[in-house]
Amino acid sequence: MTVTRRRFLAGASASAAALAAPAFIGRAQAADPIKFVSILDQSGGLDIYGKPMVDTTRMAIDELNAAGGLLGREIELKVYDPQSTIQFYTQYATQAAAGDRADVVHAGITSASREAIRPTFSRFQTLYFYNVLYEGGVCDLNCFCTGSTPAQTVEKLVPYTMNKWGKKVYIVAADYNYGQITAQWVQKYVADNGGEAVETEFFPLDVTNFGPTIKKIQAAKPDLVMSALVGGAHVSFYRQYAAAGMNRSVPIASTTFGVGNEHKLISAEEGDGMICAYSYFEEIDSPANQDFVARFKAHRGEGAPALNELAARAYEGAYLWAEAVKQAGTTERMPVIETLRTGLAVDGPSGRVTIEPKTNHALQNVYLAELKDQAFQILEVYEDQPPTDTLLVCDLVADPSQAVFKFENGLEAAGIKM
């Protein structure tokens, strides 16, 4: 495309108008469909997370439309695939906000992608949902983080596994903001529970040879390994760990294993005994969840993937937004945000999910489960857990003008004692 002066001026004045007075831009006529944009990786190394999320998002929108849409209008779902590339995230985020004029955007898998696009949605005043478990710390009026955070999951996982297996912990984590900050949370909870984090190692997302690390783990002789590894390549860690016979001597607990359906990727012998904590497991024994799983299998048809926290929360996230639109009676951004922040709740497959207004995070059930024969067996349930990590640093009720990521420079910089 060549940029002529006329086109440039038209574009510049339009975007100036959009920035200056978004409320005056006619959003939509009553009959126009409501625009719901989803930006999730469906190819590249992160597709193991993104594909099931897109499936459940699609199912939520289909169900809402089958029930008559929202406010008498149909919901139009537009899905972009950023191909596990941050650059495409920023491109599609701008497209969704400025081009499509989306009413809501549900987007991002890695924390790196979230931080790349969150400012875009603030700037364009486009309502943003991030439905993925992450390290906590986002404090942004425009952004709703519905996934679980370390205070909800790691805080349960660390003492449980330390009581069961012992106090010496070896941490392996992915090398970007999620892994770095989550490793700090693990170190903190290990220390809080009187244990010792003997070593912490970080891995770029494309590492597949974990041999040197496995030898180091053998030399360090920990009681358990805590893994925050991410993506398709890192699945090799669990295989190579089992191939060296380590899974029988030093068990693994993980903050990420299973949300990419890794438990279906490795065999039963390799995975048995691993312990994880999430706010959803496909194996939750409740009528609501059994119904959800059956509907998903029918909706997705043959080859339906296993369900995990990310997939379930993408579905519940869509319903949280839909409920807010219904109660607000409009899709306008501020009324919807205000409605969500009244402590809005939906009863989803994971149980009740309630928006916490100080942080725009969610109160949610947390389940602790052990892997057996490629399925999780639920050990403990903790109901309505608050995001206490983010509550330590964020109060949007006192100061709604915030749009920051408090843990950007680590926990100590955010004033959390290690």
Partner 1 sequence: MDLVAAVGLQILYGIANLALISLGLAIIFGMMRVINLAHGEFLMLGGYTVVIAANAGVNLWVAMLILAPLVVGVIGVVVERLLIRWLYGRMIDTLLATWGLSLLFIGIVTSIFGASTATTISPPLGVVSIGEYTSSAYELLLIGITVALGIAVFLVLKMTSLGLVARGTMQNAEMASALGVSTSRVYMITFGIGAAISGLAGGLLAPVTGVLPTIGAVYIAKAFITVISGGAAILAGTASASVLLGGVNGIAAFLTGPTIGEVALLVTAIVLLRLMPRGITGGLFRKSL
Which residue lies nearer to partner 1 by CB, 203 or 315?
Answer: 203
DSSP letters spanning 345-391: EEEETTEEEEEETTTTEEEEEEEEEEEETTEEEEEEEEEEE--HHHH
Q: Which is nearer to partner 1, 71 or 244 (CB)?
A: 244
Nearest residue (CB) to partner 1, 199 versus 370: 199
Round to whole Å and give the CA distance between 271 and 242: 8
Selected binder of partner 1 within 239, 299, 352, 358 (CB under 8 A): 239
Nearer to partner 1, 27 or 299 (CB): 299
Binding test (CB under 8 A) with partner 1, winner from 38, 45, 121, 180: 45
Least separation in angstroms between residue 248's CB and partner 1 is: 9
Residue from 87, 163, 209, 377 that binds partner 1 (CB under 8 A)?
209
Window of 4-12, 42-50, 59-67, 145-153 that interacts with partner 1 by CB under 8 A: 42-50
Q: Which of 206, 373, 380, 412 binds partner 1 (CB under 8 A)?
A: 206
Place of tokens 């070896």: 170
Residue closer to partner 1 (CB basis): 131 or 200: 200
User: Which is nearer to partner 1, 47 or 103 (by Cβ)?
Assistant: 47
Q: How far is the CB of 56 from partner 1 (least distance, A)?
A: 15
Cβ neighbours of residue 295 under 8 Å, at least 6 residues apart?
Answer: 59, 63
Give the whole-angstrom CA distance, residue 86 versus residue 39. 11
Contacting range for partner 1; rule: CB under 8 A; set: 59-67, 109-117, 158-166, 257-265: 257-265
Q: How far is the CB of 162 from partner 1 (least distance, A)?
A: 23
CA distances from 221 to 193, 249, 331, 394 (A): 19, 9, 56, 39
Q: Which of 218, 327, 354, 388 binds partner 1 (CB under 8 A)?
A: 218
Which residues 96-125 are close enough to bind partner 1 by CB under 8 A?
none
**Residue 43 within binding range of partner 1, rule CB under 8 A:** yes
List the one residue from 232, 348, 351, 387 that touches partner 1 (CB under 8 A): 232
Q: Give the span between the Cα atoms of 162 and 46, in whole angstroms.
A: 30
Strands (E), 229-350: 252-254, 275-278, 345-348
Triad 150, 181, 320: Cα angle to 5°: 45
Measure the CA–CA gap between 32 and 236, rounded to whole angstroms: 48
The residue from 11, 68, 204, 273 that contacts partner 1 (CB under 8 A) is 204
For the window 291-310, what string marks contact with partner 1 as x by the rule CB under 8 A?
------------x-x-----
- Give the integer Cα–Cα distance in Å for 94 and 251: 44
Taking the least distance from each CB to partner 1, the nearer of 128 and 237 is 237
Residues 6 or more apart whose CB falls under 8 angstroms from that of 237 comprise 172, 203, 210, 213, 227, 229
Write down the least CB distance from residue 313 to partner 1, Å. Answer: 19
Select from 187-195, 197-205, 340-348, 352-360 the region that touches partner 1 (CB under 8 A).
197-205
Q: Which of 22, 27, 33, 44 binds partner 1 (CB under 8 A)?
A: 44
Number of Cβ within a 10 Å radius of residue 131: 30
Residue 244 Cα distances to 226, 240, 248, angstroms: 17, 6, 10
Measure the CA–CA gap between 198 and 208, rounded to whole angstroms.
23
Among 13, 15, 163, 208, indicate the residue that binds partner 1 (CB under 8 A): 208
Place of tokens 């358990």: 224
**Distances from the Cα of 191 to the Cα of 90, 153, 226, 250, angstroms:** 38, 16, 14, 20
85 binds partner 1 (CB under 8 A): no
Beta carbons of 354 and 343 less than 8 angstroms apart: yes
Q: How far is the CB of 237 from partner 1 (least distance, A)?
A: 10
- Residue ranges binding partner 1 (CB under 8 A): 42-45, 47-48, 50-51, 175, 201-204, 206-213, 215-216, 218-219, 232-233, 235-236, 239-240, 242-246, 260-261, 264-270, 303, 305, 374
